[in-house]
Structure 1
Amino acid sequence: MWPWGHAAVGYLLYSLYSRSVRNQPPTGLTVVVVGFGTQFPDLIDKPLAWTVSVLPAGRSLAHSLLTASLVIGVVVVLARRANRSPLAGAFGIGYLSHLAADGLYPFLEGEFASLSYLAWPLLPLPAYETDKSILAHFAAFEFELFAMLEFGLVPLAFVVWVYDDYPGIDLLRRLLTR
């Protein structure tokens, strides 16, 4: 999934969680944190695999549920100590939505072996068609059904964000006017 798709899925899931469990729309800081969580696995794995060749693939260490469990656990502990538990929930939903979204296409296509990255290093990584750079991925981009679904999720997330009363916009304004 592309970054915009991850952001849209994460926001939609977090908004649903926030409204149904916390009985309120997302707040500005939680929206920023969920957005960071949706990108976190790629921010770790892609550069470490494609730029410095420390990891074997762009879906490996941070895309593993083992790593996700550890990272989210640390975030929960730190957030509780700072009395900011909602931030841990936002990060966790963002992070796990990324992993679920990356696994959605192989799951729907019945290619379960392609989900082995979720248990790396306990299972070997699947073979990837393009795992060299972000430019190689953009060059291989095709307007297929799943890509169109991702593009459709962005305006849906935008509509929900407007319905949620633009959470995060004030935080962004403050950051940009400093």
Structure 2
Amino acid sequence: MFPWTHAAFGYALFVVVAGALVALGVRGRISRAELLAAVAATQLPDLVDKPLAWYFAVIPSGRSLGHSLIVTVPLSLAVLAVARHRGHAEVGLAFAVGYASHLLGDSYVALYYWRVEEFTFLLWPVLPAYPYDDFAGLGALVDGVALTAPLLAALALAAVGGLVFLGHFLRAPWWSPPRPD
């Protein structure tokens, strides 16, 4: 997935999860802090793995360290604990949902076709990282992008999603109000 599709998917998944909790009366409105945490967390696995694999060659794949559940689960629990300690557990939940959405977004094709050998990145370094990427450099990546109808449709959808996110963000309070009684 491209960064903007990870962001859009994570945002949508978080809004569904948080919206369900609002509907159940468990929590109040979604805040800007939560939206930022969810969307930022959708980018974190690639911000860790891509440079370490592609530029520094210290990990085997662009889906290994930051994409591993061995890192994801403790990291998400730590962020949730710190956020809860500071009185904003909902921000920790947003981070965990955003981060998990990235892993789901990177797994959905393998899940759909049930190519279980591609899931090994989820348990790296216990299992070997699946060799999905041969990165030849940023120039080769840019040169390989062709303006096709599907790419233009994805960009248009990303632009609409970005506008929806921006509208939601601008209407949200910075912090969640207390839950309704």
What TM-score bracket applies, with the shorter chain setting the length?
0.7 to 0.9
Q: Which residue of 1 aligns with 2:20?
A: 20
Deviation at 1:153?
A: 5.1
Q: How many residues align?
A: 169
In structure 2, the partner of 1:166 is: 168
Alignment partner of 1:49 is 2:53: yes
Note if 1:89 corresponds to 2:93.
Answer: yes
Residue deviations 1:90-128, cap 9 Å, x none? Answer: 000100000000001122233221121011111111122
Gap runs ≥5 in structure 1: 173-178
Between 128-137 and 34-43, report the one with greater CA deviation: 128-137
Take 2:149 and 2:64, find their aligned partners in 1: how far apart are those partners? 25
One of 22, 25, 32 as aligned partner of 2:36: 32
Tell me, which stretches of 5 or more residues in structure 2 are unaligned? 175-181
Distance 2:46 2:84 in 1: 26
1:65 and 1:123 map into 2 onto residues whose CA distance is: 11
Alignment of 1:59-138 (within 5 A): 59-138=63-142
1:5/1:151 contact within 8 Å kept: no
Counterpart residue number, 1:175: none
Q: Following TM superposition, by how much is the alpha carbon of 1:48 offset from its aligned partner in structure 2, in angstroms?
A: 1.3
- Structure 1 window deviating more from structure 2 (85-94 vs 24-33): it is 24-33
Identify the range of structure 1 (34-43 vs 136-145) with the bigger mean alpha-carbon deviation: 136-145
Q: Which has the larger radius of gyration?
A: 2
SS at match of 2:128: coil
Superposition misfits of 4+ residues, deviation over 6 angstroms: 169-172
Counterpart-to-counterpart distance in 1, 2:82 and 2:154: 33
Q: CA RMSD in A?
A: 2.8
CA distance, structure 1, for counterparts of residue 72 and residue 143 of structure 2:
29
Amino acid at match of 1:121: P
Task: Report the TM-score, using the length of structure 2 for normalisation.
Answer: 0.79
Measure, in 1, the Cα distance between the counterparts of 2:105 and 2:29.
23
Q: Is the 8 A contact 1:116 1:124 kept in 2?
A: yes
- SS at 2:169's partner residue? coil
Name the amino acid aligned to 1:75. Answer: V
- TM-score, length-normalised on structure 1? 0.80
> AA paired with 2:6?
H
Looking at structure 2, the residues matched to 27 and 9 of structure 1 have their Cα atoms a distance apart, in angstroms, of 18
